[in-house]
Chain A
Amino acid sequence: VKPSTHVKVRLLALGLSLGLLAYRGLHAWEARQQDLGHLQALIRGEGSEVAYLRIPWTTSLWKGRQRAAAEGKPMLVWSMDGNPLCNT
């Protein structure tokens, strides 16, 4: 049995409504995520404050020592009360 034109229109409207709701939901989620992202960046820091993280630090003294021996390079050991990569 073919649905009547009236039913077709109602189904189409329902589909569009659900699609719009899903879109709005997704959009709202992304907007909230964007707001959170801005706040996270504000708190985390950026630019010169976190530039030191571009250096390929290792947190293992022993693995660093093994690499230094193998590659013939000096070890630069940055050792503070609390790991300096965390306690700035």
Chain B
Amino acid sequence: VLAFSKPEVIKLVTDRFIPIAGDDLLQSHRRDAEGDFFRSLIEPVSNNLAYDSPQGIYICSAKGTLVSYVRNPSQDMDAKALLLAALGDFERLPSSERGPGAVQVPDLVADPAAEPQPPAEGLTLRVHTRCLERHGSHWSRSSKPLEIHNMRFAATAQNDHLWMTHDEVAGMVPAKLEKGERVPMPESLATRLCTLYLADTTRDGSGWWQALEIVSKSIHLTVDSTTDHHALLRIEGSVELARERGADVRSMKATLQGLARYSKDTRQFTTWDMVVLGELRYLLGSQWVEQPMGFAFERADGTLATDSLPPRKLSTRMIGP
């Protein structure tokens, strides 16, 4: 993402391109015209790859003519030079495929399996996961790249989405909205939270926990105060997880704290701010490594392009066999 962090690159992309971000595995598995278009776009590149994954940056016309491809965009990449060269190549295409309105693109009859929708009247949360450093009671971002299994990873956050169903939302509202009333987080949601969202997804794909790896969990919502129109609730809890899968041995103890505002009028949570701080321990060779972890949750209000993306775990299931 740092390749797109410079102001001149942001302006160039915004003004001169149509920027699209997607998951190559999902797109190549779609059974509709969008999948056909993506497969035709990656075909000339895939034939030259020693890998299965056709990931990278593709610059092309709406007709599908590829003018530039970069497999591994890095922060050191001269993105501006790449974009300007691609613009030059695009301008040299026949006007019949690059002029405004020259190519007709009909509306899509989408593969419904490729575009899962969030539960009706549920709640979507943005989830951010990051490896942290801890000095006493002070938590800070890691200042150096993270290393594991001889691989280096930028110490950036990973982002995901958590979908709550209508029943899960309703289950977090005490029957009596009075100060001090308390309910446990619904079992299905608490389990999903622990297994899919309190995991180190920053460095490898094996971070997700299994339900049987939950040693203990206690998560409650307590009414802090109420007015005629809304109730303020505290979210508090603690979680312990542990795994022994062959050489993969790890554990984590974490505490949750959060605040949520519930509207009595719409029967929806209008804010949800929650942070989980955890101490992950894992065995690396014969050494125990301690890694402080931070997980932040906030209500997705639809203002970001990413708010419509499904949970990552759901995306992996969509690819299927």
Contacts and interface: CB of A to CB of B under 8 A. Distances in A.
A80 B178 CA distance: 48
Given A36-B259, A88-B154, A73 B22 contact: no
Given A39-B275, A81-B53, A88-B158, A44 B98 contact: no
B57 A51 contact: no
**Which among A37, A74, A81, A83 has the highest number of chain B CB atoms within 10 Å?**
A74
Interface string B280-304: 0000000000000011101000001
Interface size class of B (residues with CB under 8 A): 35 or more
A3 interface: no
B168 interface: no
Given A66-B105, A73-B16, A29 B61 contact: no
Interface in B21-74: 21-25, 27, 33-34, 37-38, 41-42, 53-62, 67, 73
A82 B312 contact: yes
A45 B156 contact: yes
Interface in A39-78: 39-40, 42-45, 48-62, 64-78
B102 interface: yes
Q: At the interface, is chain B mostly helix, strand, loop or mixed?
A: mixed
Nearest to B130: A43
B273 A74 contact: no
A12 interface: no
A75 B161 CA distance: 26
Nearest to A40: B296
Contact of B273 (A40, A55, A80): A40
A73 B83 CA distance: 12
B51 to A, nearest CB: 10
Interface of A: 25, 29, 32-33, 36-37, 39-40, 42-45, 48-62, 64-88
Given A45-B128, A85-B309, A88-B159, 12 more contacts: A25-B225, A44-B128, A59-B305, A70-B101, A74-B87, A76-B59, A76-B83, A79-B24, A83-B21, A83-B23, A85-B21, A85-B306
5 contacts: A54-B10, A57-B19, A72-B100, A79-B21, A86-B160
